[in-house]
Amino acid sequence: MKCTRCEGLMVFDQIYGPDEAIFDLPIWRCLNCGSSIDPLIMQKRLTEDKTKPVTSKKENVA
């Protein structure tokens, strides 16, 4: 998987809470820039891409 920020390598990682038992969150972390994506962020980005309207670029004509 490639990072959307820097196109670096994303690896699977987990975040643990203070006692290592209560909070266990699977994430993808970029080895290049440190950006991390959890399942909720990934789901939100995927739904935004589908609902984003397609706009055409228009040149300014003077």
DSSP string, 1-62: -B-TTT--BEEEEEEE-TTSSS-EEEEEEETTT--EE-HHHHHHHHHHHHHSPP--------
Token pair belonging to 10: 């994303």
What is the token pair recorded at 53? 């309207």
pTM (two decimals)? 0.59
Which of 1-15, 17-31, 39-53 shows the highest mean pLDDT? 1-15
From CA 6, how far away is CA 18, in angstroms rounded?
30
pLDDT digits (tens, 9 = 90+) for 32-42: 998 989 888 88
The domain limits of the chain are 1-42
- Specify the pLDDT at position 57: 61
